[in-house]
Chain A
Amino acid sequence: MVTVTLNGLSVDLRDRAVLHGISATLRPGELTGIIGPNGAGKSTLVRALLGLIPATRGAVEIDGHDIARMTPKALARLVSYLPQGQALHWPLSVERLVALGRLPGLGPMSRLGADDLAAVHAAMKRADVLHLAGRTATELSGGERARVMLARALAVGAPGLVADEPLAALDPGHQIDVMELLAAEANSGALVVTVLHDLTMAARYCKRLLLVDRGMLVAQGSPQEVLTSDRLRAVYGVTGRIEFGGGSAMVVPLERV
């Protein structure tokens, strides 16, 4: 289990300040959602969290170790990443694609061992894509591909998982599939952080939300604490219907203000 701490994290991209002094602690065992309007800096936050872009000021620490001082491989074994948009540049078979998740543990020119194959199999089973094993990944439907990409991230076997907009372009059924999978991973003790646009999904499945606006962390806490109509108005510029009751929370944007 790992805990990620953001210590006054600021990121400038091409001299433009994108993130301003974000401090938060991301804990294992609770699905954490990062929400905020377009251009708020969610993806930048996620990329900084994974060490893909350096912190300009402040630091990201995993279990107290600054990730800027870790080797790319060591970091890759701690946190796996599901990037936005399911990019895949070659028509690989589903298995081969999922097996890419084992790379952080492999040396150059080495082969997959029995434990790697077991991890690949387990990840495919968890994401329910075993039946797609022999298919070509570029020929799958969007929903199938999303699950396959998720299996790829799970195959790393890292204690942490960061997903950037995993629900984009998915129908409601597949959205629920993916959220339930992420929640199950978190419940099994993993650190799972996901960027979301769908506030209902965020409210329903996340135990904790970070609301980012214009590069600043404007709220963090449980969905009830974070998702209020004042904040919808101030951050997203919309009115909305917000209901929390039992397991069927609902946040529906209504109109622009």
Chain B
Amino acid sequence: MPEIPVLRARNRALIPLLLLGIALVAIASLMLGAVPIPTARLLDAALGHGDPVVRAILLELRLPRTLVALMVGGMLGLAGAALQGYLRNPLAEPSVLGASNSAALGAVAAIYFGIGDYSPAVLPVLSILAALASLALLFVLAGRAEGPLALILAGIAVSTLAGAGISLALNLSPNPFAAMEIMAWLLGSIENRAMDHVWIALPCIVGGAALLLWDGRALDALSLGEDGARSLGVDLARTRARLLLGVAIGVGGAVAVSGSVGFVGLIVPHLVRPLTDRSPSAVLLPSFLGGAALLTGADILVRLIPTAGELKLGVVTAFLGVPVFLVHLLKERRLW
């Protein structure tokens, strides 16, 4: 039988390369920071002996921080890729359906009412619950409509409502410190994350990612439009339910432990897409891996760049993201 070249030899190396990249960034993230830990001592600590201070830094500070960066970055990248595919819109990103803003509102409420002080779990849990509530609202507003436009509009409504809630909290905040705390959280950071945060985010992100990865084929079919997809046997209602649930749970879990980290979900799918065959399904997993590597790398920069105050992760991703994104779009624009 004659070969169909592209379908066969489609960038087999991409996933292994991204995994290698993740491994390198993760090791760098464990080694670099205010106290650099050289490779030898890293190995010692990993094997359970060596300097107890180094072990404490490694296991209680750097490891959870690195794990959170990998999970959050991966989830944001994957959610962006899935939403771009589902909405057939290259501008879609994880926040487009309102899950990010709603999760942020949940966290802001925890800070505003001071209930976050009872336990470190209160803030993230409230944040995830708010993301799920936004999903319910989204279903009420656009549950039955088929096209992407109704969903986008409903998402904007939900997102704006949550944004208004955040503004209200800032407006009415009892003292400048509360407002500062809310602002700092909104900028996005994964500093001082403990293993508790990892355990809170992990189930959400695993569940959300599984739901989003499940529907790759349906996203491919949707590149032919709704009728085209349904005539290929896609159950659009179930696809939509899985996608919205996956985004709400996954992004909710990610925002719950990291605050609002922008741009990763928008740019990562665009960066990996040219390395794939450009079908929505082919972009999903590479976006997860690329997002994980990118956010971990950005978090290393946060630690290394000397600034007067502490630099926030969300600020770095935005500054890194915009130029990369612009250059990329200029190269790719002939295709749109």
Contact = CB atoms under 8 A, between A and B. Distances in A.
B7 A99 contact: yes
A197 interface: no
Contacts, number: 113
A83 B233 contact: no
Given A109-B217, A133-B6, A104 B233 contact: yes
Interface string B301-336: 000000000000000000000000000000000011
A134 B6 contact: yes
B7 A117 contact: yes
For chain A, the bracket of interface size reads: 35 or more
B225 A89 contact: yes
Contacts of A118: 1
Contacts of A51: 230
A50 B231 contact: yes
A106 B214 CA distance: 13
Contacts of A75: 233
**Chain B interface, >50% SS class:** helix
Interface in A98-137: 99-101, 103-104, 106, 108-110, 112, 114, 117-118, 120-121, 133-134, 136
A52 interface: yes
Nearest to A51: B230
A89 B223 contact: yes
B287 to A, nearest CB: 14
A96 interface: yes
B213 interface: yes
A110 B213 CA distance: 12
A100 B232 contact: yes
A24 interface: no
Contacts of A80: 231
Given A108-B214, A109-B217, A118-B1, A96 B232 contact: no
Interface of B: 1-2, 4-8, 85, 88, 213-218, 220-225, 227-228, 230-235, 277-280, 335-336
Interface of A: 47, 50-52, 71-77, 79-81, 83, 87-93, 95-97, 99-101, 103-104, 106, 108-110, 112, 114, 117-118, 120-121, 133-134, 136, 138-139, 152, 156
Cβ-closest 9 pairs across A and B: A76-B233, A81-B231, A73-B233, A89-B88, A104-B233, A87-B225, A91-B335, A103-B232, A72-B233
